[in-house]
Amino acid sequence: MQLTVWTYEGPPHVGAMRVATGMRDLHYVLHAPQGDTYADLLFTMIERRDHRPPVTYTTFQARDLGKDTAELFKKAARDAYDRFQPQAMIVGSSCTAELIQDDPHGLSLTMGLDCPVIPLELPSYSRKENWGASETFYQIVRALADKERKPPPAVGENGPRRPRANLLGPTALGFRHRDDITEITRLLADLGIDVNLVAPMGASPADIVRIGEADFNICLYPEIAAQACSWLERTFRQKTVKTVPIGLNATREFVAEVCAVAGIPVPADLDQGRMGWWSRSIDSTYLTGKRVFIFGDATHAVAAARVASEELGFKVVGLGCYNREFARELRAAAEKYGVEPLISDDYLAVEEAIEAAAPELVLGTQMERHIAKRLRLPCAVISAPVHVQDFPARHSPQMGFEGANVLFDTWVHPLVMGLEEHLLTMFREDFEFSDAAGPSHLGHASSAPAAHGAPAAEQPAGDVATIAAPAPASDEGGWTAEALAELGKIPFFVRGKARRNTEKYAAEHGVITITRETLYEAKSHYAR
């Protein structure tokens, strides 16, 4: 058993729901107890969908268990088919139904429904949401793709035709999937490439049938589409574009890879957005070497690390992901930046790692946003799971050149503005500029001391003068008031580390009262 308060991923059947809800004219019959319908509200509330997810639950109750839950399943499947008339159905079990071992596949076969029925085996006690989405999409493609379909001849009556691609991976409840599709479709159009199919998002089962008519596949979200892409590669000889176009350089590489696969030259006059110039402009100099901690799904985390280090000049001080299926990719990236990879779905481990790394910026999920708030660190969201505010009304892609513009704005915004930072350093002793007061654009709320563990909590907000003034020896862990005041002068993002190091040094060297001297002794000790 694993003690959990927060889970980065839902159970695998929620992954299957994300595929089904993204698609059209597909229906999911889920053998599940009463209560599992809670998952509907993820789609209707967080993603603000205006239709119910196309999912019928059997919602069995305790009194049904002694009787025939299999009959209940058959009735639900029959009613769902009659009511919704889908082009295809997927059927499967949630965690509880997995235990009672009815066989949704066998049952639906005997019913003779007039549409393809695709069975899903989603092991709830060992796998999670992303895996469920990937497996569901793979099974749908495998079951429905017509192997006779081929791309039309390269040259027709009207001359050579444009290359065509499938965009694979976007689902319902995906982080910025909606806008990424728009952005990549536009980018491909600029390159002279048509989109044969976007799937699962927006596709019907009939669309999946003609998946073989594309020249190649673009695997936008490997977590969801890599498995299907590799099957398509084997079955249809379609090549897969594997570069994930998040960030300026990755998008350039993506364009190069797409053009190579499509057999067309890379256009010289492609609009590459503003991010490059924004980052080179002197206003951004203060971003150099900013310590950033990155956590999310592996794809977004690895992409973010590259943007952070190459395109914004940050220093990556931590890199991790919660989906172990892509641990290898993440480890490779972590090695590149010389950091220890963190592969964990335990948010407490992530919190510890962030505290230890003492970053100036955290890039992560909804969860890291809360951790950062607690530690009073600036933070931006780069990956699911996310809350309702990260399904924005405005166009807000992560991918492509416009995506790079969005990343620049989103990541730089939470940081203390450059000039403000200098003022904070120069006028540290001045109450109005004390860093305990926090960046002005984050409002006064940011000046409240965090619950615990926050470096700034050591120095009460707006109380700098008191600390700077001579005071009797503090009883705070043996620190003299003088030493505490000196500690207060250390930039807040390394202050926690300085405090820990000093206390460790004091403990190791039998120093009982920590003075200003001890602070600098420790500094020189650990500098070696």
Active site residues: 283
CA-to-CA distance for 25 and 203, rounded, in angstroms?
A: 9
- The DSSP-derived string for 26-40 is EEEEEE-BTTGGGGH
* 200 preceded by a cis bond (ω within 30 of 0): yes
When asked if residue 61 is in the footprint of other proteins (CB under 8 A), the reply is yes
Q: Report how far residue 25's alpha carbon sits from residue 166's, in angstroms, rounded to the nearest whole number.
A: 19
What is d(CA 509, CA 475) in angstroms, rounded to the nearest whole number? 19
In whole angstroms, what is the distance from residue 36 CA to residue 94 CA?
8
Q: Can residue 59 be called a binding residue for other proteins (CB under 8 A)? A: yes
Q: Which is nearer to other proteins, 58 or 279 (CB)?
A: 58
SS3 label, residue 379: strand
Q: How far is the CB of 110 from other proteins (least distance, A)?
A: 21
- Scanning 44-176, the segments in alpha helix (DSSP H) are 62-65, 69-84, 95-100, 104-110, 129-144
> The sheet that has 194-199: what strands, in order across it?
194-199, 164-168, 216-219, 239-241
Helix (H) or strand (E) holding 368: helix 366-375
Query: Smallest gap, in angstroms, from Cβ of residue 129 to other proteins?
Result: 8
Q: How far is the CB of 218 from other proteins (least distance, A)?
A: 30
78 near other proteins, rule: CB under 8 A: no
Q: Is 176 a residue that touches other proteins (CB under 8 A)? A: no
Block residue for tokens 């009460």: 460
Among 67, 68, 71, 83, binds other proteins (CB under 8 A): 83
Which of residues 24, 70, 100, 336 is near other proteins by CB under 8 A?
100
The CA radius of gyration of the chain, in Å to the nearest whole number, is: 27
Q: Are strands 155-156 and 239-241 parallel, antiparallel or unpaired?
A: unpaired
288 binds other proteins (CB under 8 A): no
C-beta of 5: minimal distance to other proteins in Å? Answer: 5
One residue of 15, 36, 136, 402 binding other proteins per CB under 8 A:
36
What are phi and psi for residue 514, nearest 5 degrees? -85, 115
Binding span for other proteins by CB under 8 A among 59-67, 241-249, 271-279, 504-512? 59-67
# chain residues binding other proteins, by CB under 8 A: 57
Q: Which is nearer to other proteins, 256 or 348 (CB)?
A: 348
Q: For the window 113-152, what string marks contact with other proteins as x by the rule CB under 8 A?
A: ----------xxxx-x------------------------
User: Which residues of the shown chain bind other proteins in the complex (CB under 8 A)?
Assistant: 1-7, 9-11, 13-14, 33-42, 44-45, 48-53, 56-62, 64-65, 76, 79, 83, 94-96, 99-100, 123-126, 128, 367, 370, 374, 387, 451
